Structure 1
Amino acid sequence: MEHKGVTVWFTGLSGAGKTTISQKVAEELRSQNYKLEVLDGDIVRTNLTKGLGFSKEDRDENIRRIGFVSHLLTRNGVIVIVSAISPYRAIRDEVGKRIGNFVEVYVNAPLETCEKRDVKGLYKRARAGEIKQFTGIDDPYEPPLNPEIECHTDKEELEESVKKVLEGLKKLGYLA
């Protein structure tokens, strides 16, 4: 299917639901034969950005690299779905400007909700001091000021959030 390339950037705290929503959006778009790639933060860190730590500089470099790949794909007509905490507003804005066709999806869930969903035990380890510079605990998360789409995963069912993203992409002219 011919369509405009776009990067759909899911940002939010660990456990907010970024990967869950983005996977369902990807499934739906694949079923409609859209060209797309998924860049999940955890997978990218083990391949493209291996060796980077969690300092602000390393986090920014991680996002720049994801943004670079996203830009290449987007300009070639691919829908790129990125799921990455990307805690700092300035670097998200920088990457969004470079890409151009960029839709920021804020997956919004309170810290308490994310901690309850903590399947990997990361929050528990961060609270115990075993993980330093953990976003939301001892490192900040800067929410988007004007995201194109916002999902409140503590109040919405998964299907509602997925529908909100797909309808938002249609409204913005990226989907037929």
Structure 2
Amino acid sequence: MIVVIWLLGISGSGKSTLGKELKNYFDNNNINSYIIDGDIIRNFYENDLGYTKEDREANIKRILLSAYILEQNNIIPIVCNISPFEQLRDFARRKFDNYFEIYLKRDINNIKNKKTVYKDKNVVGVDIKFEEPKNSNLIIDTNKLTKEESLNHILKYLKLKQCLN
């Protein structure tokens, strides 16, 4: 079954780290997948968008289309993106039959001093509201769980939903 795996959360919550771990698992099990990271999309378009709410929405729409194209070609998209807006998460649920939203919950106070992004302007969770997800399939508290424990929760969930053998 082809699924769309959408890892979301504030900057520093572990999206890219877990996305790479998931990709490694899929590669080792001969499952076609591809990581879509918001920064990769931004770089492809030569950073033509800023970080305002409107620019972030436009970038997420580009990510949605990229995920759709992969899904239509039997490649599992692993999206790693802050995705702070509930209306775009609802849009994704309508567009994808097998959309799995995984919220990586992290206390911003645990990472503010570690991430330089929190010194910039238009930061999600500081200047732009991060809308707490209402309908995530899975919530992982990355304040408490290790990378390995978090990955195991994701894999267990995907197996339970019969997305993996």
Give the TM-score taking structure 2 as reference length.
0.94
**1:69 matched to 2:58:** no
- Give 5+ residue unaligned stretches, structure 1: 126-130
Cα distance in 2 for partners of 1:7, 1:50 equals 25
Q: Which amino acid aligns with 2:88?
A: I
Aligned to 2:124: 135
Moved over 3 A (4+): none
Confirm whether residue 21 of structure 1 aligns to residue 18 of structure 2: yes
- Please give the alpha-carbon distance, in whole angstroms, between the structure 2 residues aligned to 1:156 and 1:46: 31
Aligned to 1:37, the other structure's residue is in SS state: strand
How far, CA to CA, are the matches of 1:173 and 1:104 in structure 2?
16
1:61 is aligned with what amino acid? A
Partner of 2:48: 51
1:99 deviates by 2.0
**Following the alignment from structure 2 to structure 1, what is the Cα–Cα distance between the partners of residues 87 and 111?**
23
1:84 aligns with 2:81: yes
How many angstroms apart in 2 are the aligned matches of 1:5 and 1:72?
Answer: 12
Taking a change above 3 Å as real, the CA distance of residues 117 and 132 of structure 1, as seen in their structure-2 partners, is closer
Matched, 1:122 2:111: no
Q: Which moved more, 1:8-17 or 1:88-97?
A: 88-97
In 2, distance between residues paired with 1:57 and 1:116?
27
TM-score (norm 1): 0.88
The residue number in structure 2 matching 1:146 is 135
Moved more, 108-117 or 43-52: 43-52
Q: What percent identity do the matched residue pairs reach?
A: 32
Alignment length (residue pairs): 165
Q: CA deviation at 1:171?
A: 1.3
How far has the Cα of 1:64 moved from its partner?
1.0
Match of 1:10 in 2: 7
Amino acid at match of 1:142: E
